[in-house]
Every structure is written in C-alpha cells, then in structure tokens.
Chains A and B, each alone.
Chain A
Amino acid sequence: MRKTILIADNFEYEITDLRKSLIASGYEVRVVAKPEEIFPLIQRSKPHLIIIETRIPDLNLELLIEQIKGHSNFATVPIALAGNPRTVEEKINFFNYEIDEFFYKPFEAEELIVRLETLLKEAELALEKVPASASGFNGSLAEMTLVDLLQTLEVGKKTGTISLRKNEKEGLTYITNGEVRTATLDNLEPQKALFRMLTWTSGSFSVRMQQHNAPKNISMTTQELISEGITRQYRWKKLTQEMPPLQTIAQKPGRYFENLNKDEFLIAEMVDGQLRFSDIIEKSPFDDIKALRILKKLYENSVIKAVTNSFTKTEENAVAEINGKNGNPPQDDRLKSAFAKVLKHSEHQQISNFERRRIERRREDRSEVDRRMGYRSRQGNICLNKSELMMLRNKLTAEIQQEN
C-alpha cells in the first residue's frame, strides 16, 4: 500500500520538484495551500507524514499542530516544518512545538526523501511504544555536558528535568525557573549525585520542559554549580591523564601496604581484583574527585595496577584485532585508543536504536544547516550563524556610539 505524504504549502513553485520526486519514489502526495483546508484534508486522506510550510498566511501553526497531535488518529503521525527562519527567536520557537523535523528551503529533494523515509520508519517503530509528549530536546553529552545544559536553562529561567544516561545509569536533575532544586542518581544524596553527573562527558541527555514538584535539596545556586562543574571537569580531565581507562579492573600485587594514610588505605582495601576503577570511585565514601586523586596516587606508586585483559568480549575482540595486525602486544596508547573506540560504541548501544538514529540525524542536520546558512563547519560544537553575529555586532556598535 502506498504511503501518503501531505504537504501544506502555498509556494507551489518551491514544492514542484519535491512533489515529482516523491511520486517517482512511490508515495501518494496531497498538497493543500489554504490554512482552513489543511486539517479537513488530513482527516480525509489520513497521511503517514505531514509537512507544513511555516509562512502560510493566516495559519496558526501552534493551533494546527495541537489539533493534529490531539486527535487520536494522528497523534503519532510525524510532522515536519519547512521554511527559512531568519531570527534566533523564530528558530527557538519551532523547537517548542511537537515536531519531528525541520527542513530548510530550498529543498534538496533527494536528501529530503531519505530523511522522510527515516521519519516514516521511525514512526512505524514508535507505534509499538507511544512516546510521551512534552517539549524538549535530546542530545549527546559529548556535545553538551550538564554544565552547558544548566547554563542554558539558567539563563532562560526554564523549568524542567534533565535526564542523563551513562552506561547503565540514569540521573535526573530538576530545575525550576533556572534554579536547580534537586538531583537523583542511584541512592546518592542530591549534591553528590549532581557533582558526579557534572563530570560526565559521554552518554546522552534528554531535557523535558515540564512542571514538577521536586523539593529544594540543593542549596547552591545554579551559577555556583556551573562554576563547580567547570572546575570539576577540568580536574577530572587532568587526573585521568596518565591513568588507564576507568573501566579497567584494578588489582593489587600484595596485601601489605606501607606509608599509606587512612584515606589511601581505605581505597586500597576496596581493590579486590573484581571492581573497576570507576566502580571504586562510585562506591567510595569520598567525593569523586578525591577518590580519583587517591586512585591515581596509588596507581603511580604501584600499590595497585590495572588488569590488562579485563574487558568484555567486544573489547577483547578490538584488542585482539590490534594485536593481530602486528603479532605483538599493543603499545599503551594504541590500547587506550582501542578502548576509547569500544567504550564509545558500548555507550552508544545503551541508547535505543530509535533514539540513537534520532540523535545522529539531528547532529547531521545541524551541520547541514550550518552549510546552508553559509558558514563553515568548525571543530567546535557551538557556532553562531551570521544573523547572530550581526546581532552581536549591532549591540557592540550601538554601545560604542552611546559612549561617544
């Protein structure tokens, strides 16, 4: 049975090529230009996907999307918006709607069809599990850490929850009007839970803008937490240099320790040849940074050592592959890079395939958006586009002129 795509767009010349390409690809295409005819056509044609141009005159976009999502027959139909937002406000507003995609015009029909097909496949998978509807966004902690997210929500005085996932752990942070109320992770007390999540630079996040009744358990202001987070990330990175990956199992050559202080002794006693470095940090009674510092000292003084073949089967295969290439045991740095690839892969698998494809697609789309907007892709993750740079320029110029 052919799938139906409904396009609501009053710029006929902009969608002619797209329409032809979709029909050639085996889709049935319905086009509507007048806002009052959109929903009736949706009800008659029962499309599998809806594309709406944002600049249709007299169209109340928010109301239309609410109408579609509020109808039981169409709640799970993917909605994509199409257009060319010029201001930051416009773009940010679109992310408050319950939409699945945004296509910049002019369309590149071939690429757009691939993205539409992905949307349709994901919608089929999603029918097995109806997603919760709350506005928000998802992403990777490699792109935005909890510090970045707190900064964003604090400046915008937003209310919502931030969910972080790393390996098999999930932590939540509750924000009200930009202020952190509390955080949960395993059974840790709220501040410790938050401090731990502040150091996470891999895994995924999900932000949901929704009301909540979380109590106020963290007394530090968000700005203080952001400062703390930047410092902790810096120290964590510095400490984990010259150490084996934290997923390695730790063991000690002998039971007798000399010249250890009370805290070092306690950490050394936790090393049982079963726990990984990361497990010891998490289970210790100390702050994570302190525990890591002690572990590093014990490692450097050879009180403990890393077990070199303490990997999962997948990790073992990766190391064997490197070994096999030259027949010799790998150098430490090559082993570390094998770890890095495999651990990154393992973390990726923790997210469901649906979520992973969504995250990857959004990442690709951002770089494609960057290319279309005319600025080069950077090594960096956050880049201002031309209009934002012009806003900055205008503000500076105005302030300079005021002072003249």
Chain B
Amino acid sequence: MRIGEIAVVSSDQGDRGHFLESLCDQIETVNEDISFGRYMINDQLLIHFYGIYPQEDRLSLDLISQKILGYIILFRWGDVNSFRQAQKFADLFTSRYGASVVIAGHVDKNKPGMPKEFESGIPIDKRGVFIFCNISESRSVRKVVLALVDQILDQHNN
C-alpha cells in the first residue's frame, strides 16, 4: 500500500474540518492542532489529508513536512487577516520546504458565485496557484486538490 500525504492549512479549525469532510472517506480528529482524513484511490493507493494550523514553533509542520506532497492553504475571501496568514504560509512552504502550494480562497455559498474563469485557478508563481473554492461543496474541494496535483505534475515534468 502506497500512501501520499497532503496538508490543508488554515487558522480556522472548522474550515479545516469542512474541507476534509467534503473530500475524505474517513475523518479522525487527533487533537485541536491536527485533523486527519483518508481518501482512498484504490486498494493500493491512499492519500492522507492533514488539517493543521502550525503555530510559531512550527512543530506540527516539521513533524509532517518530511513526507508531504504539497500544501493547500485555505483562507476566507474578504478576511484580510486570514489572507495575510495565507501569504505567510505560502512563502514559508515554497521557500523552506520547496513544496507545491495551492492557495484557496473560501467563498461562502451565500455570496455571489465565482466567475467560471477562476475555477481552474490563477498561477501566481512557478510553485503556487490561486483558486476560489467553497469548502462545503464536494466538487469545489476536489477542484482544489486537482489544482495541487497538476502543480506537482508540472514540477515533475520540469
């Protein structure tokens, strides 16, 4: 059995939880700092999703970053503080870990729908892409993960 691992980073535990619930077959919350879900591809391949919010000491990041495929950074569209945190993490992951990153702006379902052009994401850097999403919607969440996978594949091709 092969296992890949992806981290979902957000300061809001609820947002991390919703994202994982919209995607994973099985959820386990380990403690308030780490949530954990499994997404089965087939009986030989499994993806683990870790919902984290690394604090100043970055211990949880160092603990899991050794095996991570890439990072999904969530923030709330319209929340400036949330966006600044996301920027900070994007810099950290790309510079410290050289990882692929997707920054996902969560748009509440009550707000006007996002333009279709935004659905595939906007490349912002050779290692990152920006995309809108609705974390409660299964299809939207899968598009975010798909954007990350495409990022990783692009890197392998280069």
Contacts and interface: CB of A to CB of B under 8 A. Distances in A.
Q: Does more than half of chain B's interface fall in helix, strand or loop, or is it mixed?
A: mixed
A230 B30 CA distance: 8
Given A151-B3, A393-B146, A237 B63 contact: yes
A237 B64 CA distance: 12
Contacts, number: 98
A374 B138 CA distance: 32
Interface residues of B, number: 39
B92 to A, nearest CB: 14
Contact of B43 (A156, A381, A388): A156
A231 B30 contact: yes
A366 B84 CA distance: 39
Given A89-B44, A388-B4, A379 B97 contact: yes
Given A389-B153, A393-B153, A397-B146, A381 B59 contact: no
B31 interface: yes
A393 B150 contact: yes
Contact of A88 (B44, B142, B155): B44
A24 interface: no
A384 interface: yes
Interface string B78-103: 00000000000000000001100000
A132 interface: no
B114 interface: no
A158 B45 CA distance: 15
A232 to B, nearest CB: 11
A230 B34 contact: yes
A223 interface: yes
A269 to B, nearest CB: 32
Given A227-B36, A379-B97, 10 more contacts: A88-B45, A230-B34, A237-B59, A383-B4, A383-B69, A393-B150, A396-B146, A400-B142, A400-B143, A400-B146
21 contacts: A92-B1, A92-B2, A148-B3, A152-B3, A155-B46, A227-B30, A234-B34, A237-B63, A380-B68, A382-B2, A382-B3, A383-B69, A384-B4, A386-B156, A391-B41, A392-B41, A393-B146, A393-B149, A395-B41, A396-B145, A404-B139
Interface of A: 88-89, 92, 148, 151-152, 155-156, 223, 227, 230-231, 233-234, 237-238, 374-376, 379-384, 386, 388-393, 395-397, 399-400, 403-404
